[in-house]
Amino acid sequence: MCDTIYFKRNGKSYFGKNSDRSPNEAHLMIREPERNFKKGEMVKTTYIEIPQVEYTNACVLLKPHWIWGAEMGWNEFGLNIGNEAVFTNVKREKQNGLIGMDMLRLALERCKTSSEAVDCIISLLETYGQHGNCGFDKKFYYDNAFLIADNDEAYVLETAGRNYVVKKVMDIATISNCLSIGEDYDRKSSNFEGDFKKKFQNNLFTLVAGAEKRKKATFDALTQEGEPFDLMKKTLCCHSSNKVDVNKSSTDSVCMHAGNLFGDQTTGSYFGEINKMYFVTGSSFPCLSIYKPLTKDAEILPEDEEVALKYWLKHEKLNRHIMSGNIDVDEYLQAAEQLQEEFIRKASDAKNETELAKVSEYCFDKENAFVDSYLDRVKDKKIHIHGGLYFRNYWNKKTRILSKEYKGF
């Protein structure tokens, strides 16, 4: 489950996404530098090898730790892409192919513009198909939708097996875990006619995912007046109950909390002004997290996935102490919001890339000290999460598994 947003305002383009995955599925923020390859080299994606290109762009990838591809990210040219699981009635191919996250990363590495990325993903889809388990601790197969944007234009690309439709976006677009394009497409694959959504969508799975409700919530939120960064943060942190309750599942919320029979957890989030600056959590629970600013090149982020993993685990430990009642959630939220306001203000006031890089370093350092101060308070306390019977059993089991896998959690 996920939600991706895009809008234009006063000649500027904005993009953001929540990544909803299994609660124990670490969400990494890594910087992938530009690279050169020899002719004839292959690249190993999540399940298959395909021919590598001779040059790949520098990218920022926000990704599950075990997947080669990425849920979302941007590249040095300001191309931003987010993908969504969509549930269709197309019969699965038996042989593994690319998965949507692989196609997303390949497009970021190989393309400069959104129109190039559309062509790239379609070519990959037609050549290799899309198939492979995308579940971390369960079997989870799905097709994909993509929101693809640069500073000039944006597109929605939706797929069902090797079928696809493309629609150019004007001012606002949001996608969720549902097909949204009917007959109003600008481009389609040659092997179908008619209404794409009616023909291919699995309505039962889409209903259970709460996708239509979340898509409407994000679209309606972006039509409101307000400062763009504040607007995006509020959109990606919103709950169906209009209240932060970390001890209750909310699978129909944009800021998704796991703990029900269905649904996932928002494990990472980002938003930004395309090709200028971005804000990232690097942690789950956007409603608890502090978004830190990054330059478009994000040189402060690690290339090493182990370093990125430690960052996510540290923040996840804090979140689960909050869920256990070891940290007062209201007091924490008040302190976190003060930092958030400071970070957005300082980043917005930066006059150039050099100043923004210094602000970014300051914010990451200050947030790290902030997290350390809370973890120090609870160093002698155990994580035991509260809530309803199913909810607490679900989360305490997840925490036991995480503690066994990563010593010191």
330 within a domain of the structure (yes/no): yes
Q: Are 367 and 292 in contact (CB under 8 A)?
A: yes
390 within a domain of the structure (yes/no): no
Distance in Å from the first CA to the final CA of the chain: 26
50 within a domain of the structure (yes/no): yes
User: Residue 257 burial (CB < 10 Å; 0-12/13-18/19+)?
Assistant: buried
Total number of domains in the chain:
1
398 within a domain of the structure (yes/no): no
DSSP notation for 102-119: HHHHHHHHH-SSHHHHHH
For residue 279, give the amino acid letter. F
Give the angle subtended at the CA of 259 by the CAs of 257 and 261, to the nearest 5°: 120
Residue 307 dihedral angles phi and psi, to the nearest 5°: -65, -45
pLDDT, position 176: 94
Q: Are 141 and 169 in contact (CB under 8 A)?
A: no
- Alpha helix ranges (H) inside 278-409: 305-323, 329-349, 353-377, 389-405
pLDDT tens string, the chain, 409 residues long: the values are 789 999 999 999 999 999 999 999 999 999 999 999 999 999 999 999 999 999 999 999 999 999 999 999 999 999 999 999 999 999 988 899 999 999 999 999 999 999 999 999 999 999 999 999 999 999 999 999 999 999 999 999 999 999 999 999 999 999 999 999 999 999 999 988 999 999 999 998 888 888 899 999 999 999 999 999 999 999 999 887 777 888 888 878 999 999 887 778 999 999 999 999 999 999 999 999 999 999 999 999 999 999 999 999 999 999 999 999 999 999 999 999 999 999 999 999 999 999 999 999 999 999 999 999 999 999 999 999 999 999 999 999 999 999 999 987 8
Q: What is the pTM of this model?
A: 0.96
383 within a domain of the structure (yes/no): no
Cα(378)–Cα(375) distance, integer angstroms: 5
Tracing tokens 């069902």 back to the chain, one arrives at 160
Those residues with Cβ within 8 angstroms of residue 398's Cβ, 6 or more apart along the chain or in another chain: 23, 24
Cα(36)–Cα(75) distance, integer angstroms: 16
Cα(193)–Cα(369) distance, integer angstroms: 57
Q: Are 274 and 19 in contact (CB under 8 A)?
A: no
78 within a domain of the structure (yes/no): yes
Provide the domain limits for residue 11.
2-371
399 within a domain of the structure (yes/no): no
118 within a domain of the structure (yes/no): yes
Give me the sheet containing 163-169, strands edge to edge: 27-32, 59-64, 72-75, 80-86, 143-149, 154-160, 163-169, 187-188
pLDDT, position 246: 87
Q: Enter the tokens of residue 175.
A: 């996608």
User: Residue 204 burial (CB < 10 Å; 0-12/13-18/19+)?
Assistant: exposed
CB count within 10 Å of CB 344 equals 18
Q: Enter the tokens of residue 128.
A: 């290799």
CB count within 10 Å of CB 227 equals 11
The CATH number of whichever domain residue 164 belongs to comes to 3.60.60.10
Cα(119)–Cα(187) distance, integer angstroms: 11
pLDDT, position 354: 95
